[in-house]
Amino acid sequence: MSAQLTPHTSASAPDRRTSTIQKRTSMLPRPASIVLDDSVLIAQHAQLTGSYPITAGPNTVLHPHSKISSVMAPVVLGEGVVIYERARIGVASGGDAGGMMMAESASGGRADGTVLGRNVVVETNAVVEAAEVGEGSTVEVGALVGRGCVIGKYCTITAAVVLAPNTHIPDYTVVFAGSQQRIDRTLKDRPEAQLLKTMMHRKQLDIFKKLVPNNAAKWRMG
Amino acid sequence: MAQAFPYTYYSCDCYDSNTNITSAKRASQQAPIADDEDERTFDPRSPRSNYSLYPLEHLLYCEDCQQIRCHRCVIEETLAWFCPACLFEVPSSLIKADGNRCIRNCFNCPVCMSTMMVNSLDDPTNPSSSGGPYILSCPYCHWSTHEIGIEFEKHTGISQQLSRVANGGRQIPTQKERDKERERLKDAEGRKKDDRDILSGSDDSPTRDRVREDIPPSQEDSFSNLSAFYKTQINAQSPASFSSHDVSFSSPASYARIMNLYSTSSTKKQKREKPVPMREASGVFEGLTIFDPATDAATIERIKKEGWSTTLAPAQKLAQINPNIRFESELRPIPSILCTKRGKRCRSCRHILAKPEAKITSTRYKIKLLALNHIPRLSLRALSTPTSQISASGPSASAPAFDYNALRPGIPTHFLLHLSNPLFDPVRVTLATSSTTPGKVQSRVTILCPQFEVGANTDVWDDALQSSLSPVKRTPALNADGQIEAGKIWDRGRNWTSVVIEVVPGFLKPVTTGFSLGGDDGKKKEDEELDEDEDLLEIPIFVRLEFEADMVEQERGIGDPKRSVEGQREKREEAFWAVVGVGRVAPT
């Protein structure tokens, strides 16, 4: 539990910005506004960057080295969202020029902004650039959800799946084996299954609260 | 072969071991056995040699035959069967009875083929006593038996519960019930046919039978009908199948049978009936299913209504046990297929070459006769020539790495062939190779030291204790001028020796056809264009080993079983072909 501070508290505070050219993502200034609920758990080395506001609902858990990036658009995390290690939420600044991206988002897909619904779990190394992820959904290890995607509720994006931008995934869908999709009827038809899932999720949140030291105070001040 | 250069392949002799046997049988079909095997040079390019070359790690060695064995000259035998999901060993008697699938709770998902788990669909707010209804669910694609309408009462004995329930919750009758039903229906049919003229309307249970007639029997019903029919046919066919120990004259039938057997020599031949040939099924109760085009029309209507996505992918359909299903709602969980633990035996002498441990979860081997432990390992690497060494001694740090993919033709290049000896006795090695490599690109190969000794694979400490002699000059082949001398080894260690091979890679195109005449364009082009892998420089080397080993006790003769054979050494000789892949010749 070292008291290591990540670089941008000292080097990249707004009054110390040396140039207006955007450098690497981690050197960006802190977001314009971070709204954190009181029960949010942010671990050490989690990164929240970008200039748009980031909002985190109650009981959200951000694991170490997770990255929330609101460089392009605001990010909203719903209640009970868990972001595992090295997961990336929000559209980071890609290689394209800013203008092209604006044109793209204007033509198709939803408006910018990433919204994760209640009890969404984003597992290790996943990249979620989607516009919206419905409640109860799980994005499994290493998946890539492209920009502008809309994912319904209680969906499962299995490991290492790549979703093209602006894909629409209906409710209760499981995306597996690269591109195959099917409706998870068990979860849809049986409310007991949904209840069980919610209960397990709540238990997980409790355990995280006990095991992961909370560094949210750093993000609350200023 | 996508191996990195340089590589070594060893030839197993099995690829032409049959020629001598077959030619002796049919003199009319004398296969042209060209030369004697020893005189024939090994051509790594021929299609036949493709089947005999293996890396040393892939080869086993039979100690009785004292020969290399590749994977095609071994016999595999299964030692144990086990389920990969539950790791439960299934005895072979159960395999013969129940087949090669797991009979406990291990099932594969019909959609994605991953192992399924038993989950409870219990209401958390109102938990039931037995743990609620259970379902089999797939952790990957989230398919579950709920989608076909099956739920289980207890979480063990799933396969038993599954065999009683069809999709949608209907009951499947057991074998006994099926037999009874079949008998009853057959009698009803028979009586109906007899009573046709009499117009008696008194059928027993008319409604049940009429409903049954419309629905074609399910796959399991047909199967059980057919197997029962075949059993009766077999029993009818085989005559007096009595075993000698129950020769009892209790029933007149058995007496008649026995008398028939003993007196069928001459007299009763005409009286014996012609055996009735076995016939095939002739009705629904015997397992015959007659094709009805109405079922196809119904299937098409169903696809139209429900959509293409409800039909099965070919892989899913093939994995199912019932081959006639087409729709997702007809899927059943697939019992896991069992895996085997196998041992390998030499094909000719049946000596065990590899035997794994009996414990399922351990990957070790009790017996492991590898070629690695009996055959010396050859490996090649480039040797920078002494002249180039001296010239490059100035900027020696930046010596370019040797490029095996771009051998320069026409320039003599030296390679170091390194032999390491795994045996516990010193070995005398003789190497031989033809002076030019076979194939279109002819490279000249010279082994500068064809005969040498390699030390025994003793312990490191033994060697350190014993070697008090003055150390051999480090590279005896290099003489004072820096030239490489023939007849001397390059370097030697405890159990290895290295010698120099000089290779002059050939030219890809003959030098003279720089100018192609107009008329012969087509033919010249054919000659000039090399096939794939023609520029690959491979050297076939014949390796002969001579060493003395402790005598193997071959047979217990009647002479003197107590005679001590320790200390008696016998001279042994082994030989094999090896192919050393050097690299590719660069076009000039």
Per-residue pLDDT of chain B in tens (588 residues, 90 and over written 9): 456 778 899 988 876 655 443 434 444 444 444 334 444 567 777 777 878 889 999 999 998 888 899 898 899 999 999 999 989 999 989 898 888 898 888 999 999 899 999 988 887 777 777 777 889 999 998 898 988 888 888 888 888 888 888 777 777 777 777 777 778 877 877 777 666 555 544 444 444 454 455 667 778 788 888 888 888 888 877 655 555 545 555 666 767 777 777 776 555 555 556 667 778 888 877 888 888 888 889 999 999 999 888 899 899 999 998 888 889 888 999 999 999 999 999 988 899 999 999 899 999 999 999 999 999 999 998 887 655 444 444 444 445 677 788 888 888 888 889 999 998 888 999 998 888 888 778 888 888 888 888 888 877 777 677 665 545 556 666 666 667 777 888 888 888 898 988 888 888 776 555 454 444 444 444 455 667 777 788 888 999 999 888 766 555 445 455 454 556 788 889 999 899 888 888 887
- Quick check: is A30 in a domain? no
Q: Closest Cα of chain B to A50: distance in Å?
A: 35
Q: Closest Cα of chain A to B360: distance in Å?
A: 30
Cross-chain residue pair B144–A158, CB shorter than 8 Å: no
Distance CA B579, CA B437 (A): 11
Distance of CA A6 to the CA centre of its chain: 20
- Number of A–B residue contacts, CB under 8 Å: 41
pLDDT of residue B28: 47
Q: Closest Cα of chain B to A104: distance in Å?
A: 32
Report the alpha-carbon angle B35-B36-B39, nearest 5.
85
A187 touching B (Cβ < 8 Å) = yes
Q: Closest Cα of chain B to A145: distance in Å?
A: 18
Stretch 164-183 of chain A: residues touching chain B, C-beta under 8 Å: 174, 176-177, 180, 182
Cross-chain residue pair B147–A185, CB shorter than 8 Å: yes
Report the chain A residue with the minimal C-alpha distance to residue B310: A182
* Residue numbers in A near B137 (CB within 8 A): 186
Find the domain containing A65 and state its range. 39-219
Count the domains in chain A. Answer: 1
Strands of the sheet containing A82-83, edge to edge, are A41-42, A61-62, A82-83, A121-122, A138-139, A156-157, A173-176, A180-183
Closest CA to B439 of B43, B48, B47, B53: B43
- Quick check: is A211 in a domain? yes
Distance CA B434, CA B539 (A): 9
Question: Which of A156, A177, A195 shows the shortest C-beta gap to B112?
Answer: A177
Distance CA A104, CA B289 (A): 60
Interface mutation target, options B122, B138, B142, B312, chain A, most CBs of A under 10 Å: B142
Question: Which of A174, A189, A196 shows the shortest C-beta gap to B141?
Answer: A174
Question: Which of A180, A185, A195 shows the shortest C-beta gap to B124?
Answer: A195
Q: Are strands B117-120 and B334-335 parallel, antiparallel or unpaired?
A: unpaired
Q: Are strands B444-447 and B365-368 parallel, antiparallel or unpaired?
A: unpaired
Cross-chain residue pair A189–B132, CB shorter than 8 Å: no
Cross-chain residue pair A186–B147, CB shorter than 8 Å: yes
Q: Which residues of B81-106 are buried (b: 16+ CB within 10 A; e: fewer)?
A: bbbebeeeebeeeebeeeeebbbbbb
* Residue numbers in B near A196 (CB within 8 A): 122, 124
Interface mutation target, options B113, B123, B125, B141, chain A, most CBs of A under 10 Å: B141
Question: Which of A174, A195, A199 shows the shortest C-beta gap to B142?
Answer: A174
Largest interatomic CA distance in chain A? 57
Strands of the sheet containing B451-454, edge to edge, are B53-54, B7-11, B569-584, B536-550, B427-432, B451-454
* Residue numbers in A near B144 (CB within 8 A): 186
Stretch 127-156 of chain A: residues touching chain B, C-beta under 8 Å: 156
CATH code of the domain in which A116 resides: 2.160.10.10
- Quick check: is A13 in a domain? no
* CA dihedral of B19, B20, B22, B27, whole degrees rounded to 10: 120
Residue B81 three-state SS: strand
Closest CA to A66 of A129, A125, A4, A12: A125
- Quick check: is A97 in a domain? yes
Report the chain A residue with the minimal C-alpha distance to residue B151: A186
- Quick check: is A120 in a domain? yes
**Cβ neighbour number for residue B65 with a 10 Å cutoff:** 14
Average pLDDT, chain A: 79
A203 touching B (Cβ < 8 Å) = no
Residue A174: DSSP 8-state: E
Q: Do residues A77 and A116 make contact, with C-beta atoms less than 8 angstroms apart?
A: yes
* CA dihedral of A64, A67, A68, A69, whole degrees rounded to 10: 160
Closest CA to B496 of B437, B452, B556, B548: B452
Distance CA B215, CA B218 (A): 8
Largest interatomic CA distance in chain B? 121
**Cβ neighbour number for residue B278 with a 10 Å cutoff:** 10
Residues paired with residue B8 on neighbouring β-strands, in sequence order: B580
Q: Closest Cα of chain A to B100: distance in Å?
A: 28
Distance of CA B574 to the CA centre of its chain: 28
- ipTM, 2 dp: 0.76
Stretch 21-40 of chain A: residues touching chain B, C-beta under 8 Å: none
Distance CA B575, CA B498 (A): 19
Q: Closest Cα of chain A to B125: distance in Å?
A: 9
Distance of CA B546 to the CA centre of its chain: 34
Q: Are strands A82-83 and A121-122 parallel, antiparallel or unpaired?
A: parallel
- Quick check: is A166 in a domain? yes
> Side-chain half-sphere of B86: how many Cα atoms within 13 Å?
19
Closest CA to B406 of B588, B528, B534, B581: B588
pLDDT of residue B357: 93
- Quick check: is A73 in a domain? yes
DSSP per-residue string spanning B343-382: EEEETTT--EEEEE-SSTT---EEEE-BGGGTSPEEEEEE
Q: Do residues B412 and B371 make contact, with C-beta atoms less than 8 angstroms apart?
A: no
